[in-house]
Homo-oligomer: A and B are copies of this chain.
Amino acid sequence: MNIPGVAILGCGLIGQKRSKTLAGAKLVVCADIDEKRARSLASGYPDCDAITDWRSAIYRDDVDIVIVSTTNNALVETSLAAILAGKHVLVEKPAARNVAELDSLIAATTLNKSVLVRVGFNHRYHPALLKARELVDSGELGELMFVRGRYGHGGRKGYDHEWRADPVLSGGGELIDQGVHLIDLSRWFLGDFSEIQGFAHTYFWHMPVDDNGFMLLRTAKDQTAFLHVSCSEWKNLFSLEIYGRNAKLHIEGLGGSYGVEKISFYKMLPEMGPPDTTIWEYPRGDNSWALEFAEFLEDIRLQRIPSANLQDARAALAAVEKIYKDSGYDYYA
């Protein structure tokens, strides 16, 4: 494989973002059920075709990687077909509307081991998260105790009429949207969760899906992730706090309306009292999408299982599904 060819299925905001961060590869075809949208995206790239039937994209010889950035209802069908066509797939989170759907995807990957599937948990590649990963791996925090996360936005007028408000298209509300990011990040640091408690509810928006999700997740060693996601947060917020026996990390902001991304490192001294404090800020924004894609190219080069994969998506969806059921949402009937 020389310069790999890429197909983008789904040319909305995420598809557009992906198209700009494909260094090392070449966008050859864009598919969207809305032809205008496909054309608009393709027009920015030389020799890039715009089509409305995604099926004709995945069988092309010049396509090596399929990026699936459709609405949630189409993630599995398209990814599955791409896998079966022998293409590597980068599917956006949550990768499916529920565990059952996702399992069909996982099953498909067992048929062709040479096909790699990465799930778009791009938050792992934000600069403050990478710094957190580095500090945790260095042992500076000691054994991890718990994680606290808050992630939310305030929606916009008519938010309850967008596709995310329709459970058939989305598979759920806030929990399956921003929630899976927080679950995945927490699990990335703490490991698998064996106890799932939580509560999802629709407080504000007139829609059948949840607008707030509260989570209390625990590993087998009783490490806790205490997480809240909301689309009635009013002031955009991203905050993740990671506590070790020796230090605390606090990641805030994701750039843009979420505020400058930064990470604070509070290091306890032997005598205790106020911690030593170092703060790194990232005012230039994140290049998480580019880093994530570059890592996928490297996965492919090395025939290496991607670090964010379908099992990670499954773990996040299992937590979401359990909480939806406990909260009386039945998206699965």
Contacts and interface: CB of A to CB of B under 8 A. Distances in A.
Interface residues of A, number: 49
A257 to B, nearest CB: 7
Judged by DSSP, the binding face of A is strand
A57 to B, nearest CB: 35
Contacts of A146: 203, 212, 214
A222 B204 CA distance: 12
B279 A281 contact: yes
B273 A284 contact: yes
Interface of A: 145-146, 148, 150, 154-157, 197-199, 201, 203-204, 212, 214, 216, 218, 222, 224, 226, 228, 230, 232-236, 243, 245, 247-248, 257, 262, 266, 268, 271-275, 277-284
A226 B271 CA distance: 32
A283 B277 contact: yes
Given A197-B197, A234-B268, A275-B154, A228 B148 contact: yes
Contacts of A150: 148
A31 B306 CA distance: 56
A248 B236 CA distance: 12
Contacts of A197: 197, 199, 216
